[in-house]
């Protein structure tokens, strides 16, 4: 399904922008142009969802809704919903290097409301059509957000004081829907704008020959419209708080494991529906992307389940996942679709067999291979053709940080020899050449490695919250013709263009 090709991983928020965060506007189109000039095939993004606690794209209020912060403000001017002066009035002293989500929370929403107040009759008709096309999730999501943000003062769903609303009693839903109609419609408007801009951006990518790889987190947030509307699909208490939560046991990233806090699935309930919710989720994502990465693939074979009262992920248990039964149901409903399995971490024969049976390409990461061990599966000479391989990932150190700050001296010397680094070439370029030369069908680099950046450019540190996580941004001048030409030359040399 996948040919020999390559691409760059960079989240939308990391792109340049004059308004404090990367968006789906002009600079995103320019980044696509940069990739096309560099003879790339793929742009990989992180989940696009409406972020919640900690601004993590892996903790969202909905499995389908888009993040309003990705809406481009200058395009709202083009639509006639804001003026340029109004957009400038919402600007702050934004750093070109980091996204300031706290400032965005203070400045974006008044402008969004002003734009909403100027919706034309023609746009209202388009929004009505959009609402009908997305009736499976949009009205519930919009009501959920209106309740959460306006009526219950941002409380999570399991702390909502009105039990009849929390339990979705029809008469209670009718009452609050009438009470919050304006707030519901405002949030539907934001989703209409989000998808209007994303679809335009994707059309530009298609025109330039760039395919977009999306990302599906295996779990949804405990505080989400999905949990509220489908509580039977999760292992919850009667108040909708998680009874059992997801995570991973101690591993490379953390000695106490990672306790994610997401409710685990009631897979027996999913099976009874023929996995209808997962089929809907996959269909929704394939409408947005050309290829989809399945985060935490091993959780479909077996998942780590922890009592919600635990403080760490140490005291958990492995539980059997749905395995191929789920993927057969998806393929029966939607046909073959291009999926990538994120199969990093501790693997078992069960996980390897699921990957083999699925036929999906698995992932390998160069920086995990810097041990003098011939059999290390993360070293390029061991890559399988049916795999997608990275210099580093959004959850890891960059190549430069790993070699310079993390590796022991023997590991560092091995990395230098393996990559054939020299003073004449940036370390990131040596890593890219090494991965591009491998037999893997798809080779990827992060934008940070493309620019040979270090620890300050790390996107996320797993098992931590806040701090610099998810905030890194690239400067516009870094995405220049010289960099594009160098990447394009490497891509052509190793026959990936």
- Encode pLDDT of 99-138 as tens digits: 999 999 999 999 999 999 999 999 999 999 999 999 999 9
| Model confidence pLDDT, tens digit, residues 312-326 | 999 999 999 999 999
| Residues 195 and 226 placed together within one structural domain of the fold | no
Among all chains, which residue has been given the structure tokens 């995570």?
Answer: 247
191 in the same domain as 261? no
**Same structural domain for residues 29 and 111?**
no
- Mean pLDDT of the region 66-70: 98
Q: Which pLDDT value is given to residue 258?
A: 86
Residues forming beta bridges with residue 495, ordered by sequence position:
none
The string of pLDDT tens digits covering residues 222-241 is: 999 999 999 999 999 999 99
Q: Is the pLDDT of residue 372 over 90?
A: no
Mean pLDDT value across residues 423-450? 96
Q: What is the CATH number of the domain that holds 448?
A: 3.20.20.80
Does 197 lie in the same domain as 96? yes
Confidence bin at 158 (pLDDT 50/70/90): very high
Rounded average pLDDT over 414-438? 94
Residue with tokens 């493309």: 450
**pLDDT at position 346, please?**
76
CA-nearest of 276, 191, 261 to 230 is 276
Residues 6 or more apart whose Cβ sits within 8 Å of residue 56: 460, 469, 470
pLDDT at position 253, please?
Answer: 65
Query: Got the DSSP string for 139-165?
Result: HHHHHHHHIIIIISTT--GGG-S-HHH
Co-location of 29 and 177 in the same domain:
no
- Select from 157, 184, 201 the last residue of a domain: 201
Tell me, what's the pLDDT at 179? 98
Domain residue limits at 101: 66-201
- List, for residues 374-416, the tens digit of each pLDDT value: 789 999 999 999 999 999 999 999 999 999 999 999 999 999 9
Q: How many domains does the chain have?
A: 2
List the single range of 86-95, 146-155, 279-288, 438-447 with lowest mean pLDDT.
86-95
Q: Do 177 and 292 belong together in one domain?
A: no
Residue 222: predicted pLDDT: 97
Residues 209 and 184 in one domain: no
pLDDT tens per residue, range 345-369: 878 999 999 999 999 999 999 999 9
Measured between alpha carbons, how far is 74 from 197 in angstroms, rounded to an integer? 11
Arithmetic mean of pLDDT, 209-222: 97
pLDDT given for residue 375 in this prediction: 87
CA distances from 303 to 263, 297, 299, 473 (A): 12, 9, 4, 33
Domain boundary pick from 181, 201, 221: 201
pTM over the 0.85 mark: yes
Q: Which residue, among 92, 132, 131, has the nearest Cα to 111 in the 3D structure?
A: 92
* Dist. CA 263–CA 246, nearest whole Å: 6
**Residues 472-490, mean pLDDT to the nearest whole number:** 97
pLDDT > 90? residue 147? yes
Q: Which of 161, 182, 201 is the last residue of a domain?
A: 201
192 and 297 share one domain: no
Whether residues 321 and 358 share a domain: the answer is: yes
pLDDT at 463 over 80: no
Confidence category of residue 440, pLDDT binned at 50, 70, 90 = very high
Return the bridge partners of 265, or none.
234
User: Which strands sit side by side in the sheet containing 302-307, from one edge to the other?
Assistant: 258-263, 244-248, 302-307, 316-320
Task: Tell which residue, 446, 437, 441, has the closest CA to residue 472.
Answer: 446
Q: Please tell me whether residues 41 and 159 are part of one structural domain.
A: no
The mean per-residue pLDDT over the stretch 171-199 comes to 98
Q: Are 251 and 167 in contact (CB under 8 A)?
A: no
* 96 and 164 belong to one structural domain: yes
Active site residues: 295, 342, 395
pLDDT band at 337 (very low <50, low <70, confident <90, very high): very high
Domain co-membership, 70 together with 23 = no
Mean of per-residue pLDDT scores for the chain: 96
Nearest alpha-carbon partner for 28 in 283, 165, 198: 198
- % the chain with pLDDT above 70: 100
């Amino acid at each position: 399904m996948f040919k020999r090709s390559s691409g760059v991983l960079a989240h939308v928020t990391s792109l340049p922008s004059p308004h404090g965060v990367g968006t789906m506007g002009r600079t995103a189109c320019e980044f696509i142009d940069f990739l096309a000039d560099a003879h790339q095939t793929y742009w990989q993004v992180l989940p696009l969802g409406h972020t919640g606690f900690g601004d993590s794209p892996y903790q969202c209020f909905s499995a389908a809704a888009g993040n309003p912060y990705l809406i481009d403000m200058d395009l709202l001017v083009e639509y006639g919903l804001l003026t340029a002066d109004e957009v400038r009035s919402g600007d702050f002293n934004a750093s070109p290097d980091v996204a300031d989500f706290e400032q965005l929370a203070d400045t974006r929403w008044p402008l969004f409301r002003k734009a909403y107040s100027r919706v034309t009759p023609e746009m209202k008709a388009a929004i009505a059509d959009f609402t009908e096309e997305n009736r499976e999730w949009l009205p519930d999501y919009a009501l959920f957000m209106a309740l959460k943000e306006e009526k219950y003062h941002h409380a999570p769903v399991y702390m909502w004081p009105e039990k009849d609303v929390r339990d979705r009693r029809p008469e209670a839903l009718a009452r609050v829907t009438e009470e919050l109609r304006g707030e519901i419609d405002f949030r539907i408007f934001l989703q209409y704008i989000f998808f209007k801009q994303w679809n335009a951006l994707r059309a530009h990518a298609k025109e330039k020959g760039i395919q977009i790889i999306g990302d599906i987190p295996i779990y949804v947030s405990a505080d989400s419209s999905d949990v509220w509307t489908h509580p039977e699909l999760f292992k919850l208490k009667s108040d909708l708080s998680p009874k059992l939560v997801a995570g991973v046991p101690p591993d490379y990233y953390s000695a106490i494991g990672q306790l994610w806090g997401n409710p685990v699935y009631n897979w027996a309930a999913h099976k009874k529906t023929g996995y209808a919710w997962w089929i809907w989720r996959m269909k929704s994502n394939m409408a947005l992307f050309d290829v989809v990465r399945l985060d935490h693939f091993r959780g479909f074979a077996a998942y780590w389940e922890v009592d919600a009262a635990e403080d760490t992920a140490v005291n958990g248990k492995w539980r059997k996942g749905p395995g191929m039964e789920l993927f057969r149901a998806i393929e029966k409903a939607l046909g073959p679709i291009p999926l990538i399995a994120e199969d990093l971490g501790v693997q078992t024969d069960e996980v390897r067999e699921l990957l083999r049976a699925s036929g999906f390409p698995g992932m390998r990461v160069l920086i995990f291979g810097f041990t003098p061990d011939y059999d290390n599966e993360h070293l390029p000479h061991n890559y399988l053709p049916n795999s997608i391989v990275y210099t580093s990932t959004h959850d890891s150190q960059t190549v430069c940080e790993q070699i310079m700050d993390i590796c022991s001296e023997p590991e560092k010397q091995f990395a230098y020899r393996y990559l054939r680094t020299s003073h004449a070439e940036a370390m990131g370029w040596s890593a890219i050449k090494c991965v591009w030369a491998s037999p893997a069908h798809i080779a990827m680099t992060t934008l940070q490695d493309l620019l040979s950046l270090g620890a300050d450019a790390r996107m996320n540190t797993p098992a931590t919250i806040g701090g610099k996580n998810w905030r890194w941004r690239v400067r516009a001048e870094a995405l220049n013709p010289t960099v594009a030409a160098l990447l394009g030359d490497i891509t052509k040399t190793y026959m990936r263009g």
